[in-house]
């Protein structure tokens, strides 16, 4: 038998060899017949008839051991402080989707010392299965903002609750030794259309409260839909903003109108974060978000939805880290938005 033209050994009974190979592939076949499914070895496997030296002839049992032996051992990563699944994937140079496939039950919050599989053991003969998979997948709804000029900025009310839609998605999925490695969408049928959520926000401006040293297009408002101050300005050394604790997914709003100058992610600090330039040297920053809804160069209005609260980066709980900067100097946000959510 040859694998990618490499001689693995010879056996006396070709039929039993083929049965051995089929048995390995059968371990990965669906229990019920699936006409869309193909099962094959990743490497080219050939059973070549011929005359071989007696010393190369082995039993079927020995051949089974040869083809199922591990050519590469599994690798385990041990979590350290501040680790999250996406960070571990980056550290080990693997796609996040692959890490999730190797550890389907992994949580976003990891314990120090927790073991995470980053590379599975690789046998001499890997089996590739390709099949079509049909799933019903929820789709997110859009959020439409309606400005009410009779209400002050900072006012938020949901006029119409959004509802997720439902699609039937057919994909061609490839697995190697039971681990998903590739997914190609074939069709996407809408079963239930999502219902847009309509949010009424105040448009009336109170008196300007812009920090000295800069001008801006409006006063600052509380940058989240609720929450409370969990850590104030310099609540510990190096803490250059105000932490507003909220539930995951809570809307994050632009505290004032301006131009988005940075939309980025880092693993050890701000996580997913946004920087907005309000002119005159005034900037605001919103960090640790779970989702970002704006892009660099985009003009945003005060009170516009820009992100969703999360705990990405170096964060111990769901919150938005909010900073006000004037000419590069960190200002105490409490002096401009207070310390209690006004709505």
In the chain, domain spans: 2-72, 75-120, 133-171+183-198, 208-337
Q: For position 152, what pLDDT does the model report?
A: 64
Q: For position 110, what pLDDT does the model report?
A: 80
User: Is residue 45 helix, strand or coil?
Assistant: strand
Backbone angles phi, psi at 69, to 5 degrees: -70, 155
Mean per-residue pLDDT pooled into runs of 10, the chain (343 residues): 93 94 94 94 92 93 89 84 85 84 82 87 88 93 84 74 93 90 91 91 56 48 92 89 93 92 88 91 93 91 92 91 92 90 79
Identify the CATH number of the domain defined by range 208-337: 2.70.70.10
Q: For position 207, what pLDDT does the model report?
A: 41
Q: For position 195, what pLDDT does the model report?
A: 93
How many whole angstroms separate alpha carbon 192 and alpha carbon 187?
A: 15
Secondary structure (DSSP) of 80-123: -TT--HHHHHHHTT--HHHHHHH-TT--SS--TT-EEEEE--EE
Decide: residue 104, CB within 10 A, 0-12 exposed, 13-18 middle, 19+ buried: exposed
Q: For position 149, what pLDDT does the model report?
A: 80
Q: For position 218, what pLDDT does the model report?
A: 43
Residue pair 311/291 in contact (Cβ under 8 Å)? The answer is no
Question: CA angle at residue 340 from 334 to 343, to 5 degrees?
Answer: 125
Residue pair 320/286 in contact (Cβ under 8 Å)? The answer is yes
How many whole angstroms separate alpha carbon 265 and alpha carbon 287?
A: 9
Q: For position 210, what pLDDT does the model report?
A: 42
For the chain, helix, strand, coil in percent to 5 are: 15, 45, 45
CATH fit for domain 75-120, picks 1.10.10.10, 3.30.365.10, 3.10.350.10, 3.90.1200.10: 3.10.350.10
Q: For position 206, what pLDDT does the model report?
A: 47
Q: What is the pTM of this model?
A: 0.50
Q: For position 285, what pLDDT does the model report?
A: 97
């Amino acid at each position: 038998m040859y694998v990618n033209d490499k001689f693995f050994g010879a056996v006396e009974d070709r039929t039993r060899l083929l049965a051995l190979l089929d048995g390995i592939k059968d371990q990965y076949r669906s229990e019920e017949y699936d006409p869309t499914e193909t099962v094959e070895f990743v490497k080219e496997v050939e059973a070549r008839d011929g005359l071989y030296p007696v010393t190369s002839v082995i039993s079927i049992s020995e051949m089974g051991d040869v083809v199922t032996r591990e050519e590469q051992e599994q690798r385990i990563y041990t979590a350290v402080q501040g680790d999250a699944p996406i960070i571990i994937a980056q550290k080990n140079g693997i796609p996040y989707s692959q890490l999730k496939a190797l550890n389907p039950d992994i949580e976003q919050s990891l314990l120090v010392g927790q073991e995470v599989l980053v590379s599975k053991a690789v046998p001499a003969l890997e089996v590739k299965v390709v099949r079509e998979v049909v799933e019903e997948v929820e789709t997110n709804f859009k959020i439409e903002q309606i400005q009410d000029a009779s209400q002050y900025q900072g006012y938020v009310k949901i006029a119409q609750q959004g509802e997720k839609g439902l699609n039937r998605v057919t994909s061609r999925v490839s697995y190697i030794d039971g681990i998903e490695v590739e997914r190609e969408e074939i069709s996407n049928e809408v079963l239930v259309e999502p219902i847009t959520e309509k949010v009424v926000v105040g448009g009336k401006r109170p008196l300007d409260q812009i920090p000295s040293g800069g001008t801006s297009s409006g006063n600052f408002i509380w940058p989240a839909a609720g929450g409370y101050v969990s850590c104030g300005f310099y609540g510990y050394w190096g803490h250059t903003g105000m932490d507003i604790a909220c539930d995951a997914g809570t809307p994050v709003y632009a505290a004032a109108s301006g131009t988005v100058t940075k939309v980025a992610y880092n693993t050890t600090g701000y996580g997913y974060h946004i920087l907005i330039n309000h002119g005159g040297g005034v900037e605001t920053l919103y960090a640790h978000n779970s989702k970002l809804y704006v892009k660099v160069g985009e003009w945003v209005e005060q009170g516009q939805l820009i992100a969703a609260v999360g705990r990405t980066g170096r964060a111990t709980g769901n919150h938005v880290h909010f900073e006000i900067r004037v000419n590069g100097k960190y200002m105490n946000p409490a002096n401009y938005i207070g310390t209690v959510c006004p709505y």
